[in-house]
Structure 1
Amino acid sequence: MVLALVLIALGLGLFAWKVSSFGFPVKPEETSEVWVVQAHVAVDPGAGSLKVSMQLPTRTPGYGLSDEHFISRGFGLAVDDKPWQRTATWAIRRAGSERSLYYRGVYFHDENRQEIAPRPQFPNPPLLREPFQTALLEIVDEVRQESADIASFTTSVLVRLNDPAPEDNLALFVEGPLKLDKAHIAQLLLSGARIPVLTIQGVRLTDDSNNAPIQTFIAAHDGEQWLYFDPETGDSGLPGDFLVWWTGDDPFVSVEGGRLVNSEISVKRQAVSSLSLATERAELHGSRIVEFSLMSLPINIQSVYEVLLLVPLGAFIIVLLRNVVGVRSFGTFMPVLIALAFRETELLAGFLLFVTIVGVGLTFRFYLEKLRLLLVPRLAAVLIIVVLLMAVVSVISHQLGVEAGLSVALFPMVIIAMVIERMSIVWEEHGPANAMLDGVGSLAIAIIAYLVMGIDLFAWWVVVFPELLLVVLGLTIALGRYTGYRLTELFRFREAVS
């Protein structure tokens, strides 16, 4: 029983881990949301060569990159994949008229916590001309007295910045000749306190947009991690729909040998298969779970295992019906093989074909009994008769235009031959009633197994989550220890039990 519990816990644990960590879908029809982000750059070239550089998303906390493409007719492309900042550079010798360049990336929600930049050094305080230098020092001293750590210091600075009536020292920066926005004023003040800080540029992935505005956040490092703040509101943390595009004050697009006409970012939401997205998420996290799964096999081999992995489920149904319910059948796993044949022939056609083959084969088997053959020749003769009967049924069905009859070839002929042999022995030793009862029980188990294995959700689980077969194994082992009354025995011996 301990082994059964361990197997069940292991199977359910792996199942829960794959669903929670990588988002593997529990249902086959599940879809997930992705965002197609497109950057369009239009440039007016000069007389000579043209070079265009554009910042690319590199470290994107909360999002993962599924796919990306660059579209640029006639341009050479070089992507500088630096660890903390990626840049795409297009170049052409002679551009002619106005040209358009495109970057398209597909991004999905991911619970990664990527750092946007390496651990920084403490910056030197900025040197400003008076009266800005004195105002900076006084602001830093006042805020330091009202704060306990870097997070509270940054929040206090932003609260002061967003005050409609800022104090005199801060008004020098907000309303003075420096003409800085709130993000860069906050960056300046935090640098005055020797707090590592940088600006973050990105877009919000909220609704479909043809011209999503680039928004600026600031990030302050507390010695362990980057803390994010919205300079316009003072709120801490990045919004869940914010895609970090690049860090620092470099321009989004820079042009050499021409003039930038326009640059815009478009955002569009799409739905994709959750399974494909889960595999990409696993690769993003460096997990090799997909490489060592059935999904890495060739398609034709996957199709084989889609059927084979249902056999343990059918075997568990047999264990349940025989050991707990008490249904009688011929053979141990014959009903599962018949159920697999039903999957190809459809239930009604398969049932009629099975009854026909077994009925006619049983007639020939009774005739062979009169010849007093030995066991092996008799079984071989029954097998040959079954094959001939299957061929005859197929030919006659084809001539009559009954296409369902052609699927009789899908039945396991050896199993049918053994059913005929076993049924004839029971008929002779225990009478026709017991033989018919065992035959009906076998068909009943096969039909129930067919119905269970035909549930699309179960077929999906055994392929995407084959570890759930450990749960089936654990339950089978647990039922193997059951020695109590079967349900049919409770009915038969109800007076003795009471």
Structure 2
Amino acid sequence: MLKKWYIICLIFLFIPIISIFLKIFYFDYEISDVIPDKGYKLVLEIISHTDSPKSINISTFAPINNLKQRVLQEEGFSDAFNFRLQKEDNNRVMSWTADRIIGENKMRYTVKLKARAIKYVFLPDTPIDANYPPIMNKYLESSEMIQTRSEAIQKKAQKLTKNKHTLYDKIKAIHNFVIKKIKYVNFSGGLDAESTLQILEASCNGKSRLYVAMVRGLGVPARLVGGIILNRSPKKVTHQWVEIYLQGNWVPFCPTNNYFAELPNRYITLYYGDQVLFKYKSKIQLDYSYSFEKITIPKTGLSNKFKDLPINIFAIMENFEKFNISLNIFIYLLMLPLAAVILVILRNVFGLETFGTFLPILIASVLGGTGVTLGILLFFAIIFLVYLGNLLLSKLEILYHPKMAILLSLVIAVMITVFYFGLLGKNYDVISLVFFPVAIMAITINRVTIIMEEDGVKRLFVMTFNTILVILISYYFINSIFLQLMMLSFPELISFFIGLNILIGRWSGFRLTEFIRFRGFFMRQQYDR
């Protein structure tokens, strides 16, 4: 019997080793092939309200396709409005129209896009092009809000660029002036370039307009760019920055957040030019918000490249995307066998007892939605509520199953209350607790009650600490980028984990916690020998 389990274990351990060897040396397999792209799912929600019947036309901008970002999938929806998306100049304009509409109505636009950071090498000897194509003339002109020919702006630009002999040094001088000398103030309305220079403070709009006016004064085309920075969700604040035409490329500069010839991937372009974000003629009340989440996007075309592989992971990934299923779900599924091995080691080797066998892994898998701190606090709060509930209900001598139903109802009622006050206070961190599945709460309530009745309160506190520790360890293993890439590249590692579990399953020695507990006995026994 010993030889039989030993052989089975070796088979499971060596299958992935052989498979990985063949992939690398026979199929020219590289880990870089499997690394998915990072993207965003961006949602714009608009609410309009009218007290009397009106014909309404609301328009705004959809994300643009350019070198920095690419729209993969998009959809506009409303029960009451007709949705339309069309190209106007260099922008993509979406509009919602309806006739004789009254009351509150909702519109929604959802887009999946791939975005990347971009950085240009701005060489110090870059010359000013003397022969720009005619299409660039409009980016050299003065306008009502960008007063390129303003005497004050021209004098200031000349002073800043005096003794600067290269285009790089001139633009750098203007950039540093707008960054350091124009104080950022969150104005509700936008300032023009001349006013910004006069009062030396502005929002991103005023800073960018002054920047563009000064650069155009050098004889270099420049334009405003509007968009959104995906740094927190949801948000209503959009952003403006600058692009300068250099050596045949529109090069980005942000005079608000000090990006020089570069932008991070969280900058999403919505429009070019000095635009108003929303346009509508009727007198209506309009509210809007942007929300987003990070998504994983599989690379395309790799399923054919590796079609001869016994397990074509790329075909599976592409089908997830095809059926509009988040690739993150597939990644989490691959990570669960690894998390299970970690749990087995912590329980069987270290001797950490937890609530349920796989409950810590289930909780760890949802912490990405709630956040680590809030998720752990919620888990602890559930245990505390169940503890108090059991103390109160024990006096009523209620049967087990009705008691479970009452405790579950109590926890749900408290969560709904917290969720409600989170909505009122617009505390979106608290609102994210809705990601905590009811099934996990039910299992937790069941296990806590059994431990309280059979082992007492002291045992409950010890197991609570152990469970939280295992949850945190599992969470960081599940969310390790390196380990996720290894599992995506070599899913056959699941076989290795099965073999490892067989080895641990045959373990008959003391656990670490048992050794610590009985260390005095072991030391006396060794001394007697």
Instruction: Place the TM-score, normalised by the shorter chain, in its bin.
Output: 0.3 to 0.5
TM-score, length of structure 2 as denominator length: 0.44
CA radius of gyration, larger in: 1
Structure ranking higher on relative contact order (CA contacts 8 Å, 6+ apart):
1
TM-score, length of structure 1 as denominator length: 0.47
